[in-house]
Structure 1
Amino acid sequence: MNRIHIAAGHDRRLRAGHPWVFSNEIGLIEGQPAPGDAVAVHGPRGDCLGTGYYNPHSLIAVRMLSPQREDIDSATFFHQRIAQALAYRRALYGDLDGVRLVYGESDFLPGLVVDLYGSVLSLQFLTLGMERRRDAILEVLLDLLRPEAVVARNDVGVRELEGLPQNIEVLRGTLPAEVIVGENGLRFAVDILGGQKTGHFLDQKENHQALRQRVEGGRVLDLFCYSGAWGVHAAHYGASEVLGIDISKGALALAQRNAELNGFAERCRFTQGDVFEVLRDLAAAGERFDTIVLDPPAFVKSKKRLAEAVRGYLTINRRAMDLLAPGGFLLTCSCSYHMERELFLDTLRQAAHKAGRSLRLIEVRGQALDHPVLLACPETDYLKCVILQAV
């Protein structure tokens, strides 16, 4: 196995358990590893720090899969890793239906995402190292789960940073005419090939339960509603009226289908529009809502655009606060890692000041438990869900 030696003074983070080696942290390369090859990583003193895969064309030159020297190309290795990830989810949820089975670095499989929707697997191979091991991973998943179909949702920009094309393809089997999964006693249709992320926002499933006892008998505004998961949960927990807003016609059709699946079509209305403009129009019309859910897509794609994103979060939250009825709840989210928790909270404080509203901070929540956070890798902790109440 080729060897990578970390430069003096650059091994502290890796020794603490972080799974990335940046290109400027490499002091010496022994051998001629090809892109995607397994490499043994050694510290400045020559001791082995583990095994990863190498990509000289990426800023993250090595992603670690093991803290020891190990054959990461063997079927046994992937079988053990994926079986461990499955065991963790089964202990959490029992039956596996709509669940993230593998979450990259947090399951010591950096660059791999595996989501299960009923009998269908939706995969993302985000790095060259995982792309090269696709067949081995696929065989393990087929053996462990026996899915009806397997889809690769490789339509993500991060692949381009690894020198990989974006694409969507059915790798095995035939997709059912409609894929439906259960969540919190409800049913949701999932757009496997064309939906956002891998088809559904699995990371919010526990946060959806936070609507319980906060929406009964009230009007709910669901912004960036996508497939209507927040709105349908709100109806389930007793909301008298739900208005969902999204820019995508496809998302709105899916949201309407999900309302119908759960018997809430009469209480849920989904409308196309730009959320920023809709918020302004609703305020001008004097509308008020008892609960508002604000779950936008990632505003922060890179640290360089953080200031621009903060302005976006500030504007959209201020306008949402304008529409809150007295005593009403705002559930506002950020799924951008670069928008750190304290910065998000500070942005909400500024938004409340600009809106002239006093709000209580009720709760700060994170991502679902099947998206575990690796303590040594803060990049795995990305989702913030803040619950505020107008006073």
Structure 2
Amino acid sequence: MDRGYPRVTVSKKCERFIKGGHVWVYHDEILAVDGKYENGDIVDVLTEKGRYLGSGYINDNSKIRVRIISKNANDRFDEAFYRRRIDYAIDYRLTVMGEDFSSCRLIFGEADGFPGLTVDKFENVLVTQVLSLGIDRVKEMLFRQLVDSLQERGYKIEAVYERNDVKVRELEGLDQYKGFYPLAGLRTDLNGEVIITENGIRYHVDYFEGQKTGFFLDQKYNRRAVAKIASGKRVLDCFTHTGAFALNAARTAEHVTAVDVSQTAIDMAKRNAALNGITNVDFVTANVFELLTQAENEHRRDREMIILDPPAFTKSRSTARSAERGYKEINLKAMKLLPRGGYLATCSCSHFMPDAQFRKMLFSAAADANVSLRQIECRQQSPDHPILWGVEETDYLKFYIFQVV
């Protein structure tokens, strides 16, 4: 079947991979290429027998040689195709997020059929990140369609801001930068800060300098679950970042201590506490590993709940084992610091630490601490970050709440 696109023939291993749901073709799985193309063009992906598997963006600069955007041979990649995808993504968020739609992830890369594209909505500002060349080439159209689709549904957008300041772009042959995207009718003179509301708590979001796009939206409902368990308790929130778990817990807790190594993050967390009039939180700038070690050496058990929300300790399979040791160290120390009957909320945001490995680590830490774990909650990311079965990279957040007995 000749659809007019260059054709890429892939191995049987890659064929199984794609039929199993994945959407990446690695460079070493390509057997032949028929036709001329420029990097970022659409190509068809075929089996060794010439059967159609899908179509996607090709890029010789990347180890992920082709990123599939469709497995439907009837698709034509015009503006109408992309608009359907955008409308579908927005309607999905309106359904699953409901009243929380005001600030949520609108586009979650491969899970929404836009490989390498992230779009977060913070009230009237869209913050974007593009990590693939194919998407970069059509982003002007995509950004315009996003704004049009939202405004047709009654949601006014003031600005689109690009956070393309990540090193992984260089693997695609793309430059790093950040700044407002100059779409007609939108502003490019905002100060980089917006106030959002999540679970009834307001936050300053710095989308110029904050991590990733400025705020971690994926823990929204996990924070709500923590607030329920924290009622009346003395809580230690580790790796607090800008205070989201701490402030959710503080609504019901007796007192919360929030810790982070970044003074910038702590300063923002204090601003967020003040914004909400929350006074039963104190903020500490410290290395969490050192703080937990000191508390362990002093045999302190003055917290009834500990929250562990560390950054990803691993961003590759090669460092997964050393990351596991880091996860075990903080969880082991937390289990030792809690009194019997205390509560532990713990998570990992790295897809290179699969759930089975994370659970095994927790079980080992509990054995070393001579405690048992009574599971209360087992959660993942909020549904605006949907998990696409077959694409393991979209299944990344593990979140547990235990009673330590």
* TM-score where L is the length of structure 1: 0.95
CA distance in 2 between partners of 1:350 and 1:138 (Å): 47
Residue from 279, 284, 290 that aligns with 2:297: 284
| Gap runs ≥5 in structure 1 | none
2:124 is the counterpart of 1:119 = yes
- Determine the structure 1 residue equivalent to 2:166: 156
Deviations 1:217-266 (A, max 9, x none): 11111101001000000011x101111111111111111111112221x2
Deviations 1:245-289 (A, max 9, x none): 11111111111111112221x201111111100111222342421
Residue from 294, 306, 317 that aligns with 2:331: 317
1:66 CA displacement: 0.8
| Gap runs ≥5 in structure 2 | 151-155
Letter in 2 for 1:268: V
CA distance in 1 between partners of 2:207 and 2:310 (Å): 20
- Determine the structure 2 residue equivalent to 1:181: 196
- How many residues are paired up? 388
Deviations 1:197-221 (A, max 9, x none): 2111100001111124311111111
- Determine the structure 1 residue equivalent to 2:385: 371
Letter in 2 for 1:113: T
- Determine the structure 2 residue equivalent to 1:254: 268
Residue from 143, 147, 155 that aligns with 2:157: 147
Moved over 3 A (4+): none
1:182 CA displacement: 1.2
CA distance in 2 between partners of 1:332 and 1:347 (Å): 12
* TM-score where L is the length of structure 2: 0.92
Q: Answer whether contact 1:361 1:387 (CA < 8 A) is retained.
A: yes
1:328 CA displacement: 1.2
Query: For 1:325, what is the secondary structure of its paired residue?
Result: coil
CA distance in 1 between partners of 2:192 and 2:28 (Å): 49
CA distance in 2 between partners of 1:171 and 1:322 (Å): 50
2:237 is the counterpart of 1:222 = yes
Q: Answer whether contact 2:192 2:208 (CA < 8 A) is retained.
A: no
Q: Answer whether contact 1:220 1:242 (CA < 8 A) is retained.
A: yes
Letter in 2 for 1:159: R
Residue from 243, 262, 275 that aligns with 2:288: 275
- Determine the structure 1 residue equivalent to 2:18: 14
CA distance in 2 between partners of 1:94 and 1:217 (Å): 30
Question: Closer, same or farther in 2 for the Cα pair 1:326/1:7, shift >3 Å?
Answer: closer
CA distance in 2 between partners of 1:156 and 1:193 (Å): 13
Query: For 1:360, what is the secondary structure of its paired residue?
Result: strand
1:9 CA displacement: 4.8
Give the aligned CA root-mean-square deviation in angstroms.
Answer: 1.5
1:177 CA displacement: 6.4
Question: Closer, same or farther in 2 for the Cα pair 1:277/1:315, shift >3 Å?
Answer: same
Give 1:283-362 correspondences, 5 Å limit.
283-285=296-298, 286-362=300-376
CA distance in 2 between partners of 1:9 and 1:352 (Å): 39
Residue from 25, 40, 61 that aligns with 2:65: 61
Query: For 2:266, what is the secondary structure of its paired residue?
Result: helix
Q: Answer whether contact 2:233 2:254 (CA < 8 A) is retained.
A: yes
1:94 CA displacement: 2.6
CA distance in 1 between partners of 2:81 and 2:145 (Å): 10
Q: Answer whether contact 1:8 1:27 (CA < 8 A) is retained.
A: no
- Determine the structure 2 residue equivalent to 1:195: 210
CA distance in 2 between partners of 1:302 and 1:253 (Å): 31
Deviations 1:136-188 (A, max 9, x none): 11211222234211111112232122122222212142325641111112211
Q: Answer whether contact 1:7 1:28 (CA < 8 A) is retained.
A: no
